[in-house]
Structure 1
């Protein structure tokens, strides 16, 4: 009888272990699926943030490009006006322009001369 009880207990224990193994396998599959879905969700969130950052960077670069182009156009316009003003002054007073050019040349010569 002791052997029969031991065999029955061993059979029950073996069956319980088989059920436990199946439960552990199901738990591992569930955890794997959960981890995979969480990983995909995290990857999607990171990808979304990267796309948003890229869009913001492109918008900022475009704005800076427009501002730079406007500043360049304004500087070019001002330079053209100054050039026209200088030309008008030279045409009105050519001797004064030559004297100013000589004075500037003389100053540059003095400054660039070695001591």
Structure 2
């Protein structure tokens, strides 16, 4: 049989191996905890990005609506101005026809004749 001093190193190896295994398990547990924390952090970051994205989309949508309304208002003003100018031109034309009816009739006939010639070709 082996003596006690010879067995002692074997026991040390066994207890040393057990402590290494325990240390390894502890490190694995720490890594798992860190990975779980990272996953939670990533979920939080993803939620924050989603919230920020939806806020930006809403902001851009509001800006686009405001710009569209401004363009619509500008277009309405332009249409009103053109209508006023067309009304003034129509009134001038009517006044000219009343002042010089023969000239107006001759001009209309001449324009009709020119348009007829152009449409033939």
TM-score with structure 1 setting the length: 0.87
How far 1:44 sits from its partner (Å)?
Answer: 2.5
> Which of 61, 73, 92 is matched with 1:54 structurally?
61
How far 1:98 sits from its partner (Å)?
Answer: 0.8
- Structure 1's consecutive aligned runs of 4 or more residues displaced over 3 angstroms after TM superposition are none
Larger radius of gyration: 2
TM-score with structure 2 setting the length: 0.83
> Which of 100, 110, 113 is matched with 2:107 structurally?
100
Q: Aligned partners of 1:110 and 1:14: how far apart in 2?
A: 106
> Which of 26, 34, 37 is matched with 2:44 structurally?
37
> Which of 72, 82, 88 is matched with 1:81 structurally?
88
How far 1:13 sits from its partner (Å)?
Answer: 1.6
Q: Aligned partners of 2:54 and 2:24: how far apart in 1?
A: 44
Residue aligned with 2:94, SS: helix
> Which of 59, 77, 87 is matched with 1:70 structurally?
77
Q: Aligned partners of 2:23 and 2:120: how far apart in 1?
A: 103
Gapped runs of 5+ residues in structure 1? none
Q: Aligned partners of 1:112 and 1:25: how far apart in 2?
A: 87
CA RMSD of aligned residues (A): 1.5
Q: Aligned partners of 1:100 and 1:44: how far apart in 2?
A: 70
Gapped runs of 5+ residues in structure 2? 1-7
